[in-house]
Structure 1
Amino acid sequence: MSPEEQDLVMGLVFAPGSPPTRTIDEVLAHFGETDGGALALRLLRDAMERRDADDVEMALIIKAAAGAPPDDFLEPLTVLFPAEWHREHEDIVSTLARLRSPETLPTLVLATHWVPEHLDWDENRALAVKAIWALGALPGRQAREVLEGLRDDEDEIIRENALRQLARRGEL
């Protein structure tokens, strides 16, 4: 994606005190597309192939702005998650959490303990906490067993959040 296209996509972002300057329709027209989800998926796969962290971010911005269903992104996001070359680990876990699919379990489990280099500074373990909350929303025995295993973790933040999720599920 060119710097001009990245600027166009960044115009979709809402930030406090700074409303979006572009619409999804403008971005779709620029790329000659009518389906934001299809565009985001195409751009995401291309960015993954080229290992381009900035373009991964752009694809996920388009996905969010288009309101694309997360189901279409399950496979590429679970493949992308453990890669160190991008910075979208938290957004990936948030997207997978919305799926509430047992297929996300291995990725969510990984996210409870693995800390990508770019998040090494985070003492609050936001990535792990998001993953634990996503696990708490997953139905079934496997998610419960993972949470039960986390309640004895050496990390206090992981323990406390696992216990909260087990309590919320009525399984404590």
Structure 2
Amino acid sequence: MTPEEQDLVMGLVFVPGKGRTRTLDEVLAHFGETDGRVLALRLLLDAMEREDADDVEMALIVKASAGAHAEEFLEPLTELFPAEWHRGHEGVVSALGKLRSPRTVPTLALASRWVPEHLDWDENRALAVKAIWALGAVPGPEAREVLEGLRDDENEIVRENALKQLARRGEL
């Protein structure tokens, strides 16, 4: 993506006090698409192929703006998550969480325990918390088992969030 195209996509991001400077229709028109889901998937696959961290972020912005939460994103997002060449791990977990699919559980389990190098500074464990909350929304025993396994985690934030999700699910 060119810097101008990145600026166009960044216009979809809501900025407090300023709002959005672009509409999804403007972005779609620029890229010659009519469907935000199709554009988001195309941009994501292209960014992954080129291992372009900035373009991964742009694809995730388009995906979120389009409300594209289709199963067709599951495989690429699952493949993308553990790659260390990008910085979009939290966005990937958020996107996987919206799918609420038992097929996301292995990746969300990894996200609840693994700290990518670029997030090593985060004592609040935002990535883990997002993964735990996503697991809380996934139906089935696989998600429950992961959450139960996190009840004894050495990190207090991880433990507390796992307990909250188990309680919310009525499984405490």
TM-score range normalised by the length of the shorter chain: over 0.9
Report the counterpart of residue 98 of structure 2 in structure 1.
98
* Structure 1: unaligned runs, 5 residues or longer: none
Q: Report the RMSD for the aligned CA atoms in angstroms.
A: 1.1
Percent identity (aligned): 80
Amino acid in structure 1 at the alignment position of 2:63: K
Does the 8 A contact of 2:135 with 2:147 survive in 1?
yes
Q: Trace 1:1-172 onto structure 2 (pairs within 5 A).
A: 1-172=1-172
Report the Cα distance in structure 1 between the residues aligned to 2:28 and 2:69, rounded to whole angstroms. Answer: 17
Amino acid in structure 1 at the alignment position of 2:86: H
CA deviations on 1:50-93 (whole Å, 9 max, x unpaired) are 00011111111111222223422111101000011111111111
Instruction: Give structure 1 regions of 4+ aligned residues with deviation exceeding 3 angstroms.
Output: none
* Structure 2: unaligned runs, 5 residues or longer: none
TM-score (structure 2 length as normaliser): 0.95
Report the Cα distance in structure 1 between the residues aligned to 2:169 and 2:13, rounded to whole angstroms. Answer: 35
CA deviations on 1:115-159 (whole Å, 9 max, x unpaired) are 011111110101101111111111111211111111111111111
Amino acid in structure 1 at the alignment position of 2:20: P
Equivalent pairs counted in the alignment come to 172
Report the Cα distance in structure 1 between the residues aligned to 2:18 and 2:70, rounded to whole angstroms. Answer: 26
